Amino acid sequence: MTHPLGNPPSKIIAVHLNYPSRAKERGRAPSQPSYFLKPPSSLSGTKEAIVRPEGCELLGFEGEIALVIGSRAQHVTPENGWSYVRWVTAANDAGVYDLRYADSGSNVRSKGADGFTPIGPRLLDARELDPAALQLRTWVNSELVQDDTTDTLLFPFGHLVADLSRLVTLEPGDVILTGTPAGASVVSPGDLVEVEVSGGGLSTGRLRNPIAAGPALDSYGAMPRVGPAEREAAYGSAYVPEPLLGKEIEDGLRSVAVATLSAQLRKRGLPHMSIDGVRPTRPGTGMVGVAHTLRYLPLREDLFQRYGNGMNAQKQAIEELRPGQVLVMDARRDTSAGTLGDILALRAQQRGAAGVVTDGGLRDSAAVTELGLPVYHGGEHPSVLGRRHVPWDTGVPIACGGALVQPGDLLVGDADGVVVVPPELAGELIADCREQEAQERFITEQVRAGHGIEGLYPLGPEWRGPYEQWRKQHNLGGESL
């Protein structure tokens, strides 16, 4: 093929996040830009196919504005950065999320494949453009899916050039991919992606690239792998995750009391499944969800700077939450510092959390209560976690309130507290809990009628017949899941 720039650049540098709309989708706004490299061999031009290997399902497109450096840039200032840009064109930062795990952060295989960086079709003279007045649009099968402007970028183009030039010499012909706005998602073989950049009455024209199916990867090396996290990242705001918990099981667990579940777990030789010492912010609000875990360790001042600041494990755990999950925190039952406040509780709610359980302290308790998110905690405390805790890791088995909680366990809460339910037992527990509660309703009626509890509570043989008759009268047939 004819190279879209004439000669290959020495490097292609791509920005992770730069548009506020995309940052909102991702749930984070970086304070400084971060980058990854794409090989020059990934460049292609308009009308050339982007090939999705057989076995991959998450081929993502990202419409972007590409800057082509015109003169060598070393240690330039942000004010002068734009003057080193010679050309502006449209680009598609394509990649397969199925291989993202293989080179986490560097994207070597997921975004570096041949043809995964089409640019063009026309180069616009940067000297005729206002870098803060460009428009980027992307279409998939003629439907507009991305439409944003450069007036609110997190990091203006001159800043990117200056930042990179502090350590990396930018050579003429080098390409900077400047980030994608909201709306980037997944395409399949047969789709057509088009990207256009315009400004000042000029346009690149539409960069058109069909999506084609390719052969499977050779088996010596990392193979495609897809999970919920990859799907969410690939589909962006268009992603609608499958429920973590089936509706029948969720409704069944909501229909029975935590006290009944605790009794049935004990009958199965599991007497230590309650999370002790926690109380709800809203006793009248029940909670059912799938455990996502976070572990704190005791404060060590020399380690807090490394583990406690920035995007620490506490914040990562919040951002990792999927709809229907309960964030369960192991704070070693130390309630003398907060482990959750109103801002992180709000973010958990926005992520679709079913609730939060911590055996540590709760800050901003009134504000958290107002949110309506089910939160169970060890007690209120005004202090931040840095007084007693270091957020350490997520997604590991933990101890919370004396109970062992594994990621994927089910958590059920009501005014009496919280119990841990092994998912494989949920169906039979619901059926037995409903039977137990039916018996207890019958027993309650008999006690109200003046009967003594001997032989009645628990239900003895002499009351079995009346109980079965009572069940028929109340249309309570055998229930199971």
Q: What is the pLDDT of residues 249-300, one digit of tens each?
A: 999 999 999 999 999 999 999 999 999 999 999 998 999 999 999 999 999 9
User: Is the pLDDT reported for residue 242 higher than 80?
Assistant: no
The reply to whether domains 12-238 and 273-421 share a CATH topology is no
pLDDT at 286: 95
pLDDT at position 283? 93
CB-based contacts of 138: which residues, under 8 Å, 6+ apart?
Answer: 61, 63, 92, 144, 145, 146, 147, 183, 184, 193, 194, 195, 196
**Range 209-217 average pLDDT:** 95
**Residue among 299, 389, 304, 297 at smallest CA distance from 340:** 389
- DSSP β-ladder status, 63-69 and 43-44: unpaired
Give the integer Cα–Cα distance in Å for 96 and 110. Answer: 5
Task: Give domain limits for the chain.
Answer: 12-238, 273-421
CA distance 288 to 291: 10
Polymer length in residues for the chain: 481
Please return the burial class of 346, using the count of CB atoms within 10 Å of its CB with bins 0-12, 13-18 and 19+. Answer: middle
The tokens describing 390, both together, are 């270091």
Distance CA 269, CA 7 (A): 72
pLDDT for 1: 45
pLDDT band for 27, please (50, 70, 90 cuts): confident
Assign 2 a pLDDT band (cuts: 50, 70, 90). Answer: low
Fold category of 12-238 in CATH:
Fumarylacetoacetate hydrolase; domain 2 (3.90.850)
pLDDT of residue 411: 98
User: pTM here?
Assistant: 0.59
The predicted model gives 81-97 an average pLDDT of 97
pLDDT (0 to 100) of residue 213: 95
Encoded amino acid at 259, one letter = A
pLDDT more than 70, % of the chain: 97
Asked whether the predicted pLDDT for residue 477 surpasses 50, the reply is yes
Query: 26 by DSSP, 3-state: which?
Result: helix
Whether 145 contacts 22, CB under 8 Å: no
Asked if pLDDT for residue 239 goes beyond 70, the answer is: no
H/E element, 227: none
- pLDDT of 305 reads 84
The two three-digit tokens of residue 307, written as one number? 């583990």
Inter-helix orientation angle 426-448/247-254, to 10°? 30
Average pLDDT across the chain, whole number: 93
Residue 143 and residue 479: Cα distance in Å, rounded?
49
* Residue 309: per-residue pLDDT: 85
Mean pLDDT across 385-398: 92
SS (H, E, C) 350-400: HCCCCEEEECCEECCHHHHHHHCCCEEECEECCCCHHHCEEEEEECCCEEE
| pLDDT tens digits along 288-334 | 999 999 999 999 999 988 888 888 999 989 988 989 999 999 999 99
pLDDT at residue 105 is higher than 80? no
Please list, in sequence order, all residues whose beta carbon lies within 8 angstroms of the beta carbon of residue 136, skipping any fewer than 6 positions away: 63, 64, 65, 90, 146, 147, 148, 149, 150, 181, 195, 196, 197
Nearest-CA neighbor of 330 among 303, 360, 304? 360
pLDDT tens-digit readout, 425-466: 999 999 999 999 999 999 999 999 999 999 999 899 999 999
Q: The tokens 């799907």 sit on which residue? A: 231
pLDDT of residue 479: 46
Q: What is the pLDDT of residue 339?
A: 96
Are the C-beta atoms of 287 and 412 separated by less than 8 Å?
yes
| 95-107 mean pLDDT | 89
Helices (H), 92-242: 108-111, 157-165, 228-235
Structural contact between residues 8 and 43, judged by C-beta atoms closer than 8 angstroms: yes
Query: What is the β-pairing status of strands 375-377 and 355-358?
Result: parallel
pLDDT at 310: 81
Q: Alpha-carbon distance 152 to 145, whole Å?
A: 19
- Do residues 197 and 179 make contact, with C-beta atoms less than 8 angstroms apart? no
> CATH homologous superfamily of domain 273-421?
Ribonuclease E inhibitor RraA/RraA-like (3.50.30.40)
pLDDT confidence of residue 241 = 64
Confidence band of 481 (pLDDT split at 50, 70, 90): very low
SS3 320: helix
Beta bridge partners of 37: 13
Distance from the first to the final alpha carbon of the chain: 61
> Rg of the chain's alpha carbons, rounded to an integer?
29
Q: What tens digit of pLDDT does each residue of 334-369 get? A: 999 999 999 999 999 998 999 999 999 999 999 999
Give 134's pLDDT tier (boundaries 50, 70, 90). Answer: very high
